[in-house]
């Protein structure tokens, strides 16, 4: 196996990675392109989740995708914010979902057959989870991380009835949307500072690899770039992008 | 009350690849053609441009370019003991919509079927004997041969500018190409795309085992190209946003790049978008179509009379159009009688994941949709099936099409689905894994078919198509066998861990496995087992032609598009040279 | 390797803060200006703030003849790998200077240039320049150079040379495909537009 050789082999590419954007006069040169600790997130306000729901969603997302040595977790990446904006928008309201009945529970091969939109599903499930935990005496955010994991595993595997939402269906949607919030383009409000992309080395939305593809086995080190980014590196967030093209 | 419009020569239902090519051929021959497309117009500029098009959430996860389930899904069940239920969100297959159809968002993988495939029933019997096939299988000959279609394959590849390397030129095997392919009259119009690192690893390993690796034929072009219509296409830059996305670079062959400007400039052709065709109308004899009825974007019902009706919808929608129109006898699996909906098939997909150490850098995000390296040694009937207990096979390839992280973050078995262990595994394996595609054939069987659902309707109030399908045992056996061969190649690559995932039943609509739905309006020489003749003309209503992969009696080991393009030009010639000069049955019934 | 990287970046950084340029830069400054700002004559582009990868590649291409220019070829042939890399890093880290004297785009040019930059032109089968050249033409490291703030006459001269075939070092013919479909009005518009971007 050829040894890994970074494309950042010398000063040329190093400076390339570092000086992606032209530096204005009197601005210090940008930092090297190593994985950096993200700034504490400035949290946009929640427009969909209420306070009780946030007390479940924030720690739950962080258990699904925790901060660790490999990099930021769901909270630093803004995953709860992503969920909030999607559930509060067209997707949450049932964009692209066939919503006619009758609703008959089918086989696993036949997929989702419930009337709930994503927003309705979350509301219903979270309300049921809240009262379940209230009966047990602790809110989710008061539990230890081990206890939180146990609770999540039980949602995932034991398939409780959450007021009509099978808990496995809720868990599946929560996990899927958390992964989306982690890895999607930051234009949607998650993947803040492209932390998830940096973690795995995915270069993002600008993607011309005609020459680089010839360099077999050579790591491609470039700052990731977002759809929402302007020429000065600022990412403009637009979570309302529709799941259709009109 | 439908408003009746002025009669035209031809109405084309669905302006995707097939509709675009046929409309252009007929308009250029002087006929007045109306193309009815339910979706919108879209062009490379502005609709396909970056950076907005490189949005994995929108196009990959939420399928923004696809048919809208809110208005028109299908229903599905594995067998007749179940109730068909709506596919409320697409996963397994992703029907397209809009001008240019599914070929706007395809991967560009452009193949020919082999000579054996067109006479599968006859040749299987000859080679392996009559008792070899599972009696439930309903495989058939096509009624047309590879040799008859060869000039049309050539024409289609040159229209697209497909990049590849011939393996068999007029019977002479060519070094570096696929030695199993059926003879070509000339090489591909452009040379193969550059090879990805995963392809280079695969090629070395496959060669070491005595196989014959070759570059995957790609309609994401390797260099600038001007096609016979005079349209210029550009070099693909391996951006890794191919399948489910539209190409901003004019580098992926789509109707927008290879034919639409010419079609739209012809005053004999009129494009109407936002038009949902409800049915093909028949006269009182039920043997002649008088035109179509459609509902436009504003909800108005209109009738378009025409002498010739071509339904060139996506395969499953062709089946539905005939059923809604009462053309041909619907298939009933309990009696075995009828033909419309019969022989529905799909594609039997397996994977092999090869996990390497972290010093092996794969860069999966650098890719085109067809820049793979593959072998056909286990595809079709290219190997001796004696004693194996199945027919068919798969192409096996390192077909790296993308590294888009929401959906691509491979982890080995035993990795937790979430939490610290998941995250660690994602980081450890993202850039150090090679995924093989094992793209397997799909036989037809009595139990698999399509009909109209008795309960669920579309937004226009019409019954949805109901698909009843499960993998024939034959195909699952094939999947096991080819996957074991794929694992051997993975090990020969020197991977630390190789995991084969052969396709297992039951078929589920919840995992993506290609949009290669075939059959249901099958072509053939025998009206009791086919819906259309070898020119894709309806046996029942001779002024209706039904063109799509719905014509395939069963599906072969390769993507259907190349063969559909060839059939399209084959039918275009039949229309111009035979039918339109003397309308009537082209084949005696 | 990481230490070398850090060292070289710091060198670049300190250069940006007005420290001494490498001695070999004197040759560059003679034509490209004291601060790498270029000259508005079509021949001498701004180097300051351009992608180091791109600068290095052009120097290599001048040396090999893949890119043709009598003066630059002679200079580039005299550089070894390390000097070339040093110069590329130095100029890449320089701040982009304030706009030099050049004609601002007319309203029509700004509109047409902006359209070509972010959308392209279907009738000419030209894609958006920013697809490859990055957000607001700010360049994409390891793929395409920055166009924003580059001198318009230089950009126009390059598009012309892609058109005429006198410049050929675009892998995959990516630039000659584009340039061959632009007319003079397009070139004037898109180059004036990019030159005006900060």
CATH code for the domain of B265: 3.50.50.60
Cα separation, C11 vs C22, in Å, equals 10
- Residue C18 Ramachandran class (φ > 0 left, ψ -120 to 50 alpha, else beta): left
Separation of first and last alpha carbons in chain C = 34
| Predicted pLDDT at A12 | 40
Say if A177 is an interface residue toward chain B (CB within 8 Å): no
Please check whether residue B167 is in contact with residue B180, taking contact to mean a CB–CB distance below 8 angstroms. yes
Q: Which of B429, B439, B516, B585 is the catalytic position?
A: B516
* Mean pLDDT estimate for chain C: 88
B584 assigned to some structural domain: no
Q: Which residues of A touch C84 (CB under 8 A)?
A: 12
Length of chain A: 246
Q: Could you give the angle at which helices C25-32 and C81-93 cross, rounded to 10 degrees?
A: 50
- Would you give the distance in Å from CA C93 to the centre of its chain? 14
Q: Which among A212, C119, C171, C177 has a CA at the least distance from the CA of B239?
A: A212
- Taking the C-alpha atoms of residue B417 and residue B196, their distance in angstroms, rounded to an integer, is 29
**C149 chain-A contacts, CB cut-off 8 A:** 22
Residues B446, B472: Cα–Cα separation, whole Å: 10
CA distance, residue B534 to nearest chain A CA (Å) = 35
Distance from CA of B216 to the nearest CA of A (A): 16
Structure-token match 């057959």, residue found: A113
B454, two tokens: 């008795």
Strands annotated E in chain A: 5-6, 23-24, 161-162, 165-166, 218-219
Interhelix angle for A51-64 vs A79-87, to 10°?
A: 130
Strands B3-4 and B301-311: parallel
How far is the C-alpha of B180 from the C-alpha of C95, rounded, in Å? 59
Query: Among all residues of chain A, which has the CA nearest to that of B62?
Result: A243
Tell which of A2, A8, A64, A109 to mutate to test the B interface (max B CBs under 10 Å): A109
- B533 in helix, strand or coil? coil
Q: How far apart are CA B430 and CA B426, in angstroms?
A: 6
**Can you tell me the distance from the alpha carbon of B289 to that of B541, in angstroms, rounded to the nearest whole number?**
7
CB-based contact, A71 to chain B, within 8 Å: yes
Residue B288 tokens read as 């002649």
In a domain, B587, yes or no: no
Q: Is the pLDDT of residue A9 over 90?
A: no
Return the residue matching tokens 């990099």: A71
Q: How confident is the model at residue A40 (pLDDT cuts 50, 70, 90)?
A: very low
User: Which has the closest alpha carbon to B205: B493, B500, B487, B496?
Assistant: B493
* Chains touching chain A, criterion 3+ CB pairs below 8 Å: B, C
- Measured between CB atoms, which of A11, A222, A225 is closest to C86? A11
pLDDT at A43: 81
> Distance from A36 to chain B by nearest Cα, in Å?
16
Query: Which pLDDT value is given to residue C6?
Result: 39
Q: What is the pTM of this model?
A: 0.94
pLDDT over 60 at A36, yes or no: no
- Answer whether C119 sits within 8 Å of B44, measured CB to CB: no
Q: What is the pLDDT averaged over residues A75-79?
A: 97
Q: Collapse the DSSP code of B479 into the 3-class scheme (helix H, G, I; strand E, B; otherwise coil) and give the result.
A: helix
Other CB atoms within 10 Å distance of the CB of residue A108: 9
On the 0-12 / 13-18 / 19+ scale of CB atoms within 10 A, B454 is exposed
From residue C47, give the alpha-carbon distance in Å to each of B286, C96, C187.
Answer: 75, 9, 21
Question: Residue B516 catalytic?
Answer: yes
Query: Using the beta-carbon criterion (under 8 Å), do A200 and B363 form an inter-chain contact?
Result: no
For residue B190, give the nearest of B151, B149, B235 by alpha carbon: B235
Predicted pLDDT at A38: 55
Does pLDDT of A111 surpass 70?
yes
Give chain C's contact residues with B (Cβ, < 8 Å): 118-122, 125-128, 130-132, 135, 172-174, 176-177, 181
Q: Closest to B52 (Cβ–Cβ): which among A183, A184, A227? A: A227
Q: What is the mean pLDDT of residues A39-64?
A: 90
Cβ distance A65 to A79 under 8 Å?
yes
Interface contact B44-C120, CB threshold 8 A = yes
Contact list, A157 vs chain B (CB under 8 Å): none
- The residue of chain C nearest to residue B43, with distances taken between CA atoms, is C122
Q: A29–C94: do the CB atoms touch at under 8 Å? A: no
Domain membership of residue B96 as a residue range: 3-579
d(CA B428, CA B422): 10
CA-CA-CA-CA dihedral for B106, B110, B112, B118, to nearest 10? 0
CB of C11 closer than 8 Å to CB of C17: no
Residue C190 in contact with partner chain A when CB distance is under 8 A: no
Assigned CATH for C107-195: 1.10.760.10
Q: Would the CB atoms of A110 and B40 count as touching at under 8 Å? A: no
**Quick check: A32 and C9 CB within 8 A?**
yes
Quick check: C177 and B44 CB within 8 A?
A: no
CA neighbours within 13 Å on the CB side: how many for A166? 12
CB-CB under 8 Å, A183 with B409: yes
Which residues sit opposite B468 in a β-bridge?
A: B77, B449
pLDDT number for residue B87: 98
* H helices present in chain C, as ranges: 2-16, 25-32, 52-64, 70-77, 81-93, 107-118, 130-133, 152-164, 174-179, 184-195
Q: pLDDT in tens for each of the 589 residues of chain B?
A: 789 999 999 999 999 999 999 999 999 999 999 999 999 999 999 999 999 999 999 999 999 999 999 999 999 999 999 999 999 999 999 999 999 999 999 999 999 999 999 999 999 999 999 999 999 999 999 999 999 999 999 999 999 999 999 999 999 999 999 999 999 999 999 999 999 999 999 999 999 999 999 999 999 999 999 999 999 999 999 999 999 999 999 999 999 999 999 999 999 999 999 999 999 999 999 999 999 999 999 999 999 999 999 999 999 999 999 999 999 999 999 999 999 999 999 999 999 999 999 999 999 999 999 999 999 999 999 999 999 999 999 999 999 999 999 999 999 999 999 999 999 999 999 999 999 999 999 999 999 999 999 999 999 999 999 999 999 999 999 999 999 999 999 999 999 999 999 999 999 999 999 999 999 999 999 999 999 999 999 999 999 999 999 999 999 999 999 999 999 999 999 999 999 999 999 999 7
Per-domain residue ranges of chain A: 48-95+110-218
Q: Which of A11, A21, A26 sits opposite C138 (nearest CB)?
A: A21
Q: What is the largest CA-CA distance in chain A?
A: 66
Average pLDDT over residues A130-159: 97
Q: Which residue of C has its CA nearest to A207?
A: C132
Residue B347 token pair: 């594609």
Determine contact, residues C68/C77, Cβ cutoff 8 Å. no
Cα B457 to Cα B479: distance, rounded to the nearest angstrom:
35
User: How confident is the model over C23-36, as pLDDT tens digits?
Assistant: 999 999 999 999 99
Q: B14 is written with which tokens?
A: 């669905």
Nearest to C128 among B43, B235, B248 (CB): B248
- Residue of chain B whose Cα is closest to the Cα of A225: B51
Residue ranges for chain C with pLDDT beneath 70: 1-19, 99-102
d(CA A32, CA A49): 38
Query: What confidence score (pLDDT) does residue C101 get?
Result: 60
Q: Span C2-15+23-93: which CATH code?
A: 1.10.760.10
Taking contacts as CB-CB distances below 8 angstroms, the residues of chain B near C174 are 234-235, 237
ipTM higher than the 0.85 cut: yes
CB contact under 8 Å between A18 and C9, yes or no, is yes
User: Alpha-carbon distance B199 to B206, whole Å?
Assistant: 10
Query: What's the per-residue H, E or C state across B21-78?
Result: HHHHHHHHCCCCEEEEECCCCCCCCCCCCCCCCCCHHHHHHCCCCECCCCCCCCEEEC
Task: Give me the pLDDT at residue A160, please.
Answer: 93
Q: How many angstroms separate the CA atoms of B426 and B126, rounded?
A: 50
B45/chain C closest Cα distance in angstroms = 5
CB count within 10 Å of CB B131 equals: 7
Query: Which residues, numbered 178 to 207 in chain A, qualify as contacts with chain B under a Cβ-Cβ cut-off of 8 Å?
Result: 178-180, 183-185, 187-188, 196-197, 199-207
To 5 degrees, how large is the angle CA B83–CA B88–CA B89?
135
pLDDT at C41: 81
Chain B, residues 33-72, CB within 8 A of chain C, namely 43-46, 49-51
CB atoms closer than 10 angstroms to residue B67 = 23
Q: How many domains does chain B have?
A: 1
Numbered ranges of CATH 1.10.760.10 in chain C: 2-15+23-93, 107-195
* Rounded-to-integer distance, Cα A198 and Cα A191, Å: 10
Give A185-236 as a DSSP string. Answer: -GGGS-SGGGHHHHHHT--BS----TTGGGSTTEE-----B-TTB-TTSPBP
Q: What token pair was written down for C58?
A: 């052009």
Among the partner-chain residues B237, B420, B456, the one whose CB lies closest to the CB of A100 is B456
């Amino acid at each position: 196996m050829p040894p890994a050789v970074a494309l950042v082999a010398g000063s040329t590419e190093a400076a390339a990675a570092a000086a992606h954007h032209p530096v204005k006069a009197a601005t210090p040169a940008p930092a090297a392109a190593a994985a950096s600790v993200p700034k504490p997130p400035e949290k946009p306000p929640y427009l969909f989740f209420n306070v009780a729901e946030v007390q479940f969603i924030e720690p739950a997302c962080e258990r699904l995708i925790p901060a660790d040595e490999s990099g930021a977790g769901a909270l630093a990446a803004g995953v709860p914010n992503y969920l909030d904006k999607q559930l509060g928008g067209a997707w949450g309201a049932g964009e692209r979902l066939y919503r006619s009945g009758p609703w008959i529970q089918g086989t696993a091969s036949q997929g989702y057959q419930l009337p709930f939109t994503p927003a309705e599903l979350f509301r219903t499930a979270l309300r049921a989870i809240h009262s379940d935990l209230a009966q047990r005496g602790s809110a989710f955010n008061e539990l230890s991380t081990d206890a939180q994991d146990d609770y999540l595993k039980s949602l995932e595997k034991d398939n409780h009835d959450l007021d009509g939402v099978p808990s496995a269906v809720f868990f599946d949607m929560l996990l899927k949307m958390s992964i989306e919030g982690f890895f999607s383009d930051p234009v949607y409000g998650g993947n803040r500072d492209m932390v998830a992309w940096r973690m795995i080395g995915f270069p993002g939305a600008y993607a011309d690899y005609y020459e680089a593809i010839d360099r077999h086995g050579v790591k491609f080190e470039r700052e990731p770039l977002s759809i929402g980014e302007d020429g000065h590196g600022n990412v403009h967030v637009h979570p309302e992008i529709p799941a259709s093209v009109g | 009350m439908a408003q009746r419009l002025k009669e035209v020569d031809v109405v084309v239902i669905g302006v995707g690849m097939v509709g675009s090519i046929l409309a252009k051929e007929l308009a250029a021959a002087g006929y007045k053609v109306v193309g009815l497309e339910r979706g919108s117009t879209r062009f490379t500029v502005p609709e396909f441009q970056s950076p907005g098009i490189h949005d994995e959430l929108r196009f990959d996860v939420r399928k923004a370019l696809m048919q809208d389930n809110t208005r028109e899904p299908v229903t599905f069940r594995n067998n007749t003991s179940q109730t068909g239920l709506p596919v409320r969100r697409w996963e397994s297959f992703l029907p397209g919509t809009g001008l240019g159809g599914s070929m706007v968002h395809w991967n560009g993988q452009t193949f020919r079927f082999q000579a054996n495939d067109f006479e599968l029933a006859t040749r299987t019997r000859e080679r392996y004997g009559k008792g070899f096939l599972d009696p439930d299988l309903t495989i058939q000959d096509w009624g047309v041969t590879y040799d008859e279609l060869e000039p049309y394959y050539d024409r289609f590849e040159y229209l697209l500018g497909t990049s590849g390397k011939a393996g068999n030129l007029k019977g002479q095997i060519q070094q570096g190409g696929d030695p199993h392919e059926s003879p070509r009259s000339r090489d591909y119009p452009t040379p193969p795309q550059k090879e990805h690192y995963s392809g280079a690893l695969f090629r070395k390993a496959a060669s070491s085992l005595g196989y014959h690796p070759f570059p995957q034929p790609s309609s994401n072009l390797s260099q600038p190209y001007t096609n016979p219509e005079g349209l210029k296409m550009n070099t693909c830059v391996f951006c890794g946003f191919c399948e489910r996305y539209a190409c901003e670079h004019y580098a992926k062959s789509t109707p927008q790049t290879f034919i639409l400007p010419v079609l739209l400039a012809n005053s004999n052709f009129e494009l109407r978008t936002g038009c949902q065709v409800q049915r093909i109308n028949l006269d009182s004899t039920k043997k002649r179509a008088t035109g179509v009825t459609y509902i436009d974007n504003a909800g108005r019902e209109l009738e378009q009379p025409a002498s010739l009706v071509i339904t060139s919808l996506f395969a499953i929608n062709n089946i539905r159009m005939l059923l809604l129109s009462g053309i041909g006898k619907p298939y009933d699996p309990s009696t075995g009688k009828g033909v419309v909906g019969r022989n529905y098939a799909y594609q039997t997909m397996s994977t092999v994941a090869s996990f390497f150490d972290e010093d092996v850098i794969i860069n999966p995000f650098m890719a085109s949709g067809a820049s793979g390296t593959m072998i056909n040694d286990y595809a079709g009937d290219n190997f001796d099936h004696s004693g194996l207990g199945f027919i068919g096979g798969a192409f096996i390839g390192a077909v790296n099409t993308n590294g888009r992280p929401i959906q691509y973050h491979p982890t080995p078995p035993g990795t937790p689905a979430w939490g610290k262990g998941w995250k660690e595994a994602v980081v450890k394996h993202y850039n150090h894994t090679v995924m093989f595609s094992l793209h397997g054939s799909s036989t037809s069987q009595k139990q698999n078919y399509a009909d109209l659902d008795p309960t669920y309707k579309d937004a226009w109030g019409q019954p949805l198509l109901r698909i009843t399908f499960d993998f024939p045992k034959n195909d699952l056996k094939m999947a096991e066998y080819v996957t074991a061969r794929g694992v051997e190649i993975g090990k020969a690559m020197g991977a630390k861990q190789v995991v084969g995932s052969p396709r297992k039943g039951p078929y589920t609509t919840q995992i993506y496995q290609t949009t290669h739905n075939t059959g249901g309006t099958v072509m053939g020489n025998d009206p009791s087992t086919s819906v259309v003749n070898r020119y894709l003309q309806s046996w029942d209503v001779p002024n209706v032609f039904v063109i799509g992969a719905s014509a395939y009696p069963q599906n072969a080991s390769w993507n259907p598009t190349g063969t559909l393009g060839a059939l399209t030009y084959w039918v275009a010639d039949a229309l111009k040279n035979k039918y339109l000069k003397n309308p009537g049955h082209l084949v005696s019934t | 390797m990481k230490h070398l990287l850090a060292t070289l970046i710091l060198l670049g950084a300190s250069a940006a803060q007005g420290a001494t340029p490498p001695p070999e830069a004197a040759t560059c400054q003679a034509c490209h200006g004291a601060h790498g700002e270029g000259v508005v004559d079509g021949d001498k582009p701004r180097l300051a703030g351009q992608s180091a990868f791109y600068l290095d590649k052009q120097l290599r291409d001048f040396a090999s003849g893949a890119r043709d220019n009598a003066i630059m070829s002679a200079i580039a042939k005299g550089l070894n790998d390390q000097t070339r890399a040093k110069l590329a890093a130095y100029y890449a880290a320089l701040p982009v200077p304030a706009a030099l004297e050049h004609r601002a785009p007319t309203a029509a040019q700004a509109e047409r240039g902006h359209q070509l930059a972010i959308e392209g032109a279907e009738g000419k089968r030209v894609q958006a320049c920013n697809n490859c050249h990055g957000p607001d033409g700010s360049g994409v490291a390891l793929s395409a150079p920055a166009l924003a703030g580059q001198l318009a006459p230089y950009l126009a001269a390059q598009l012309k040379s892609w058109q005429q075939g006198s410049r050929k070092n675009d892998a995959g013919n990516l630039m000659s495909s584009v340039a061959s479909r632009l007319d003079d009005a397009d070139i004037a518009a898109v180059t004036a537009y990019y030159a005006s971007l900060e």
